[in-house]
Amino acid sequence: QAEPIRVLVTGAAGQIAYSLLYSIAKGDVFGKDQPIILVLLDIPPMLPVVDGVVMELQDCALPLLREVIPTADEAVGFKDLDAAILVGSMPRREGMERKDLLKANVAIFKAQGGALEKYAKKTVKVLVVGNPANTNCLIAAKSAPSIPKENFSCLTRLDHNRASSQVAMRCGVSSDSVKNVIIWGNHSSTQYPDVHHAKVNVNGAEMGAYDAVKDDAWLHGDFISTVQLRGAAVIKARKLSSAMSAAKAICDHMRDIWFGTKEGEFISMGVYAAGNSYGIAEDLIYSFPIQIKNKTWKIVDGLSINDFSRAKMDATAAELVEERDTALDFLSQ
Ligand code: NAX
C-alpha cells in the first residue's frame, strides 16, 4: 500500500473542520487507497476541544487514518506536509474595523507561510479557506518564497457550487447537469458569478445556460446577488456561517488538485495572477476558470468577455488590489 501522506487542517476545533475531517479521513479527497496522517492545528486554548475531535476520529475506526496529531505548535503542525488546508483565521468581532481584521490575519498567514517555508515539503499543496481568503493566501505565498506560488490557492469553490446549484434548481435539473460556471475575483460580495460559458444538460440536450434558463433578467440580477450574498443569508438563518457546504467545497477543490478536473470542464479557484490573463493585474490571488492535470492548474484562456462581465471582473479586481496594498503595508511593518 502507498506511504501515508501528511495533511494539515488548521482551525481544527472549528465548525468547518468538524464537517471536513471525516470526509478527508475516509478517503473522499486523496483517494480510497491513500493512507493519511492528519495533523490538527488550533490555538492553545482550543486544544481541549481538538482532543475531543481526535477521540471522535479514532472512534470512526477508519482504515485509511494512520495517525492523528493534535498540536498548537507550528514546528509540529507544518512538518513534512503534503497538503495544508488553512481554515483557521481571526474572525470578525463586533465593532472590529476591516483594517484591524486584515492586520490580525496578515500576522497569522505570515507566520503560517513562514512555517510552511521552514517545515513543509516543497511540493506541498496549500489551500487557504480562512477569510479574507484571497489576501490571506497571497500573504502565505509571499512568506514561503521557496515553495512555488502555483502551489497556493484559495477557496472559491463554495461560491462556484452555489452558482451551479442555483442554475440547476432554476432549470429543474440535477446539479451535475450544470458545468463550467465561473467565479471571478474575490471571495467576497464583489465576486462575479458568470454563466456566459456555462452549459446545462436538459433532458440529454446540452445548451448554454442563457438558453436553458430563458430569463436574462434573473441571470443578470437576482442570480448574481443570491450567490454573492449567500454566505450572509446562511448566517442570518442558521446564526452560524456555512460549514457543511464549505467542507464539501474544500473536498471538491482538493480532490481536483490531486486527481485533476474532468475532460472539457473547468472549476473556479483563487490562484496567483501573473498579469497575463483576462487583463487582471498581477500579484493578486484572483479566482479564475481553471483546469487541472497532473496536480498542475492552468487558467482557461480565450473565453469571450462582454462589457457586462468586464466591468464586474474589474470591480472585484480593484477590491483585491486595495486589500493587497493594505495587507502588504502590514506585512512590511
Ligand atoms: P470557527 O470560528 O468555527 O473556527 C475557526 C477555528 O480557527 C477556531 O477553532 C479558532 O480557534 C481557529 N483559529 C484561529 N486562529 C488560528 C490560528 N492562528 N491557527 C490555527 N487555528 C486558528 O470558524 P469556521 O466556521 O470553521 O470558519 C473558518 C474560516 O473559514 C473563517 O475565516 C470563515 O470566514 C472562513 N470561510 C471561508 C469560506 C470560503 O469560501 N473561502 C466559506 C466558509 C467560511 O465562511
**How large is the ipTM?**
0.99
Q: Work out which ligand 1 atom sits closest to the CA atom of 231.
A: 45
- Report whether residue 42 contacts ligand 1, using a CB cutoff of 6 Å: yes
- 61 lies in the same domain as 143: yes
Residues 16 and 139 in one domain: yes
Atom number in ligand 1 closest to CA 111:
18
Whether residues 317 and 169 share a domain: the answer is yes
pLDDT of residue 96: 81
Model pLDDT for residues 112-149, shown as the tens digit of each residue: 999 999 999 999 999 999 999 999 999 999 999 999 99
What are the φ and ψ backbone dihedral angles of 206, each rounded to 5 degrees? -90, 130
Instruction: Tell me how far the alpha carbon of residue 12 lies from the centroid of ligand 1, in angstroms.
Output: 9
Neighbours of 44 (CB within 10 A): 9
Which candidate, 106, 63, 65, 81, places its Cα nearest to that of 10? 81
Residue 130 Cα to ligand 1 midpoint, Å, equals 5
C-alpha cell at 96: 472590529
Residue 259 falls within a domain, yes or no? yes
Domain that holds residue 299: 157-323
Which CATH number fits the domain that encloses residue 273? 3.90.110.10
Of the candidates 154, 188, 204, which is a domain's last residue? 154
Q: Does the C-beta of 242 come closer than 6 Å to ligand 1?
A: yes
Q: Measured between alpha carbons, how far is 113 from 131 in angstroms, rounded to an integer?
A: 15
Q: Compute the C-alpha angle 177/179/181, nearest 5°.
A: 135
* pLDDT value of position 75: 98
User: Are 12 and 130 found together in one domain?
Assistant: yes
Per residue in 173-197, pLDDT (tens digit) is 999 999 999 999 999 999 999 999 9
Report strand pairing: 205-208 vs 65-71. Answer: unpaired
Q: Do 132 and 170 sit in the same domain of this protein?
A: no
Q: Is 330 a domain residue?
A: no
Q: Could you tell me the CA-to-CA distances from 52 to 25, 72, 182 in Å, in that order?
A: 16, 15, 38
What is the C-alpha to C-alpha distance for residues 169 and 242, in angstroms, rounded to an integer?
19
CA dist 175 and 22 (Å) reads 23
Q: What is the pLDDT of residue 131?
A: 95
pLDDT at 94: 79
Q: Which of 250, 284, 34 is nearest to 137 (CA)?
A: 284
Measure 42 CA to ligand 1 centroid, in angstroms.
10
Binding site membership of 91 for ligand 1 (Cβ less than 6 Å): yes
Q: Is the CB of 88 under 6 A from ligand 1?
A: yes
| Neighbouring C-beta atoms of residue 279, cutoff 10 Å | 11
Instruction: Pick the last residue of a domain from 123, 154, 185.
Output: 154
Q: Which amino acid is at 63?
A: P
**What CATH number does the domain containing 83 carry?**
3.40.50.720
Ligand 1: atom nearest CA of 129 is 41
Task: Give me ligand 1 centre to Cα 318, in Å.
Answer: 25
Shared domain check, 169 and 103:
no
Given a cut of 50, the residues of the chain with pLDDT beneath it are none
Strand order in the sheet with 205-208: 178-179, 199-202, 205-208
* Cβ of 191 below 6 Å from ligand 1: no
Please list, in sequence order, all residues whose beta carbon lies within 8 angstroms of the beta carbon of residue 37, skipping any fewer than 6 positions away. 4, 5, 6, 7, 66, 67, 68, 69
Going by C-beta distance under 8 Å and a sequence separation of 6 or more, which residues neighbour residue 164? 175, 178, 179, 181, 198
Q: Is the CB of 136 under 6 A from ligand 1?
A: no
Which of 91, 121, 154 is the C-terminal boundary of a domain?
A: 154
Cβ atoms of residues 42 and 74 within 8 Å: no
**Ligand 1 mean position, distance from CA 180 (Å):** 28
Task: Please give the tally of structural domains in the chain.
Answer: 2
Cα angle 64-130-97, degrees, rounded to a multiple of 5: 160
Q: Cα separation of 276 and 223, whole Å?
A: 29
Q: Which of 9, 15, 16 to mutate to test the pocket of ligand 1 (most atoms within 8 A of CB)?
A: 16
CA–centroid distance, 8 to ligand 1, in Å, is 14
Q: Is residue 98 part of a domain?
A: yes
- Based on the fold, state whether residues 194 and 149 are members of the same structural domain: no
- In short, whether 21's Cβ falls inside 6 Å of ligand 1 is no
Quick one: which atom of ligand 1 is closest to the CA of 128?
41
220 is catalytic: no
Cα–Cα dist 235/219, whole Å: 24
What lies within 8 Å, CB to CB, of 300 at 6+ separation is 266, 288, 289, 290, 291
* Residue tagged active-site, from 160, 187, 197, 253: 187
CB of 20 closer than 6 A to ligand 1? no
- The pTM assigned to this predicted structure is 0.98
Question: Same domain, yes or no, for 109 and 205?
Answer: no
Q: CA 193 to CA 28: how far, in whole Å?
A: 27
**Are residue 95 and residue 57 in the same domain, yes or no?**
yes
User: 148 and 190 share a domain?
Assistant: no
- Shared-domain flag, residues 163 and 295: yes
| 135 within a domain of the structure (yes/no) | yes
